[in-house]
Structure 1
Amino acid sequence: MNVLRRLFKIGQAETNSAVDKLEDPIKMVEQGLRDMRENQDVAMRSLAEVKAMHIKRTRELNETKEAEEDLQNKSVLLLKKAQQKEIDSAEADNFVKENLKRKAQLAKDILLIKDDVANLEKQVATLEKNVNSIKTGIKQWENELSTLKARVKVSSATQKINKQMTNMDSHSVVSMLERMKSKVMQDEALAQAYGEMAEASETNEEKMNKAIENLSVEDELAQMKKQLGI
Structure 2
Amino acid sequence: MNLFKRLFKLSSAEAHSAVDKLEDPIKMSEQAIRDLKTDLDNSLQSLAEIKAIAIRSRREFENASADVEDYKRKAMRLLQKASVGELSQEEADKLASGALEKQNQSQQVAERSQVEKDKYDRLSADLEYKIQELKGQISQWENELKTLKARAKVSTATKKINRQMAQVDSSSTISTLEKMRSKVEEEEALAESYGDMIQSSRSLDDDINQALNKSGGSNALAELKAQMADQSSEKKPGV
Shorter-normalised TM range:
0.5 to 0.7
Q: 1:148 is matched by which residue type in structure 2?
A: L
Equivalence for 1:37: 37
TM-score with structure 2 setting the length: 0.63
Mapped partners of 1:74, 1:127: distance in 2: 43
Q: 1:35 is matched by which residue type in structure 2?
A: D
Shift of 1:60: 0.9
- Answer yes or no: is 1:71 the counterpart of 2:74: no
Mapped partners of 2:136, 2:21: distance in 1: 28
- Answer yes or no: is 1:175 the counterpart of 2:187: no
Equivalence for 1:81: 81
Structure 2: unaligned runs, 5 residues or longer: 8-15, 185-239
- Answer yes or no: is 1:99 the counterpart of 2:74: no
Mapped partners of 1:110, 1:70: distance in 2: 13
Shift of 1:168: 3.5
- Answer yes or no: is 1:123 the counterpart of 2:120: no
Where 2:103 maps in the other structure, the secondary structure is: helix
Mapped partners of 1:137, 1:5: distance in 2: 14
Mapped partners of 1:60, 1:33: distance in 2: 40
Mapped partners of 1:147, 1:93: distance in 2: 80
User: Is the radius of gyration larger for structure 1 or structure 2?
Assistant: 2
Shift of 1:3: 4.6
Q: 1:3 to 1:42 in 2, by over 3 A?
A: same
Where 2:23 maps in the other structure, the secondary structure is: coil
Mapped partners of 1:97, 1:151: distance in 2: 80
Equivalence for 1:188: none
Where 2:73 maps in the other structure, the secondary structure is: helix
- Aligned 8 A contact 2:61 2:111 in 1: no
Q: 2:43 is matched by which residue type in structure 1?
A: A
Where 2:87 maps in the other structure, the secondary structure is: coil
What percent identity do the matched residue pairs reach?
A: 42
Mapped partners of 1:147, 1:140: distance in 2: 11
Query: Which structure carries more relative contact order (alpha carbon 8 Å, separation 6+)?
Result: 1
Mapped partners of 1:19, 1:81: distance in 2: 86
- Aligned 8 A contact 2:64 2:110 in 1: yes
Q: 1:119 to 1:49 in 2, by over 3 A?
A: same
Structure 1: unaligned runs, 5 residues or longer: 8-15, 183-230
TM-score with structure 1 setting the length: 0.65
Equivalence for 1:48: 48
Shift of 1:169: 5.0
Mapped partners of 1:54, 1:18: distance in 2: 46
Mapped partners of 1:147, 1:19: distance in 2: 20
Shift of 1:160: 1.5
Shift of 1:73: 1.2
Q: 1:55 is matched by which residue type in structure 2?
A: I
The alignment of Structure 1 onto Structure 2 pairs a total of residues equal to 172
